[in-house]
């Protein structure tokens, strides 16, 4: 569990990031979860966009991704969602 101070730090880091993943009309499939899991391992901080034609709501997508990937919720604004999970192999982000 990350603290409010750590969440604020992660929000600052994610501010200029472009989304690394898009969730479209097929919603959250095992392949999408696998890709997000790999992105979290590589980048630790991942911004995801839910496209307008997706079949899942933001809260539903957030809950499913947090449960399946073991990531921490950072923020969601509009159709964008930011997740964080420290890398097991090579942690790059040092939380305060």
All domains of the chain, ordered by start, with CATH?
Answer: 4-84 (3.30.110.60)
Q: Identify the pLDDT of residue 34.
A: 97
| % of the chain exceeding 70 in pLDDT | 100
DSSP conformational letter for 88: S
**Type and span of the H or E element at 45:** strand 45-50
Q: Is 34 helix (H, G, I), strand (E, B) or coil?
A: helix
Say if strands 21-23 and 45-50 run parallel, antiparallel, or are unpaired: parallel
Is the pTM higher than 0.75? The answer reads yes
Model pLDDT for residues 42-75, shown as the tens digit of each residue: 999 999 999 999 999 999 999 999 999 999 999 9
Q: Identify the pLDDT of residue 60.
A: 95
In this prediction, residues 6-33 reach a mean pLDDT of: 96
Q: Identify the pLDDT of residue 81.
A: 97
């Amino acid at each position: 569990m990350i603290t409010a101070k750590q969440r604020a730090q992660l929000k600052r880091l994610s501010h200029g990031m472009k989304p690394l993943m898009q969730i479209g009309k097929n919603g959250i499939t095992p392949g999408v979860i696998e890709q997000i899991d790999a992105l979290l391992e590589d980048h630790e901080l991942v911004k995801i966009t839910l496209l307008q034609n997706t079949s899942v709501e933001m809260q539903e997508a957030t809950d499913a991704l947090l449960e399946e990937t073991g990531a921490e919720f950072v923020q969601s604004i509009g159709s964008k969602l930011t997740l964080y999970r420290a890398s097991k192999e090579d942690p790059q982000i040092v939380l305060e």
